[in-house]
Amino acid sequence: MARFHLGCPTYLNLKRMTCLFLPLIVLASFSISPVSAAQRPAKDHPNIVIVFTDDQGYQDVGVFGSPNIKTPNLDQMAKEGVRFTDFYAAQAVCSASRAALLTGCYPNRIGIQGALGPQSKIGINAEETTIAEVVKQQGYATAIYGKWHLGHLPEFLPTRHGFDDYFGLPYSNDMWPFHPTAGKRFPDLPLIENETIINPKVTGKEQAQLTTWYTERAVAFINQNHDKPFLLYVPHSMPHVPLFVSDKFKGKSDQGLYGDVIMEIDWSVGQIRQALKENGIEENTLVIFTSDNGPWLSYGNHAGSALPLREGKGTAWDGGQREPCIMAWPGQIPAGSVCNEMAMTIDILPTVAYLTGEKVPQDRIIDGKNIWPLMSGKPEAKSPHDALLFYWGGHLNAVRSGQWKLHFPHAYRSLKDKPGADGTPSRYVQKKTGLALYDLSNDISESKNVADQNPKVVKRLTVLAEKARADIGDTGTKRKGKNNRKPGRVD
């Protein structure tokens, strides 16, 4: 394979200059909820494994109600750990969602929105601290095998942001010349190892091996680092379209190619957990499985299902952002438990920081909070969030607080007619919603507007929204936030 160097692979520990003191902001920030030291797990420096799929629907796991996709490994993981029923991605699109997971911040705060493409000149800012950089302060080995999507230029690659090892695609697997609707907008799709392009022209043949390759790399990393603490991040390229699967799972599912792809991802989770067992480190490893956003419904049989949620990817309805989430850690997370409290991917960094004995960045606002009490089954544990924010781009579409979710007037995309088929999408149409309040405890599908019956709830959630608008802005009300930060940029 041809090799093209993108830059120096050395990770710079001193990549950020000391920032100005922001005492008022820090004091007012979304701080970690207090948890006594006695509640910290006895295990020192636990390993962390995060499996992050792409465009997977809420229903696309057996324990989340899939009628015809078999996921025995994920189902077993749920039996041995906790299933979160109300867990959200931070925005219903690729780059924004990943930025939130890795920094613990709403993507709007750090200037990453939408899905960055091959022509993008922006990426994650060097001044942001990723989850990999947090644990490296405790001596962790770190690796990412899969889709990055936070900037493809050398300055933005994972090896510049705390990861020791990287293998995967720099952005979505449909950003290539064979995209069904993009014409000649995309160049050839590269496969990168660390900072070197090892295949400048990925084809369908290689795409069919991506899930296997990511898994093999993940297992090898575990075998090589079993005697030291590590963070392993596996952001699968699938089931984002175009769908590809290896021969070992082709034709295996009752739900066609999409089901085959999910079954292979389930196999991948099984391989990773088996490697932990074989190395005798399962009881010192937290494994987290979730997805970046809901299904791309216009692709029909090449998309998943968000049922019983409303809509899908690209919307602030729960079908766009509520995701299947399973976490397991033998002896620390109660087996077979279910958490119905709301949480979000922004909470993973602060929680991992707490569990590894590290602090979250102290010089900037971090929106996520420590959810270990929820994960560990602490009696009467509640979500540490007064509210979760649902943005589409820069527009604050909705706010959730407890059982209530308030949508503000906004446009959203919905299928125009029938969904597409076999890799060709159908068209969307723009719909609009007015002010609408939903009681998610009784109406998971966001179908019955109860705003008129609950004016006090509407008022309370509107106040929470106003705080968000002052903090990080809202293009819907033409508000600029006071505490936004800029992305990295290459002129």
H or E segment to which residue 433 belongs: strand 428-433
Does the pLDDT value for residue 16 go beyond 50? no
The two structure tokens encoding residue 266 = 């389930």
Does the pLDDT value for residue 14 go beyond 50? no
What's the mean pLDDT in 315-330?
98
Helix axis angle for 256-278 and 210-224, nearest 10°, is 10
In the set 105, 149, 236, 410, the catalytic residue is 149
The Cα 461–Cα 399 span in angstroms is: 7
Cβ burial of 419 (10 Å; 0-12, 13-18, 19+) is: middle
> Catalytic residue at 5?
no
User: Which residues partner with 238 through β-bridges?
Assistant: none
**What percent of the chain is predicted at pLDDT more than 90?**
89
Does the pLDDT value for residue 8 go beyond 60? no
> Catalytic residue at 149?
yes
Q: pTM of this prediction?
A: 0.92
Contacts of 462 (CB under 8 A, 6+ apart): 406
Split at pLDDT 50, 70, 90, the class of 317 is very high
Mean pLDDT across the chain:
92
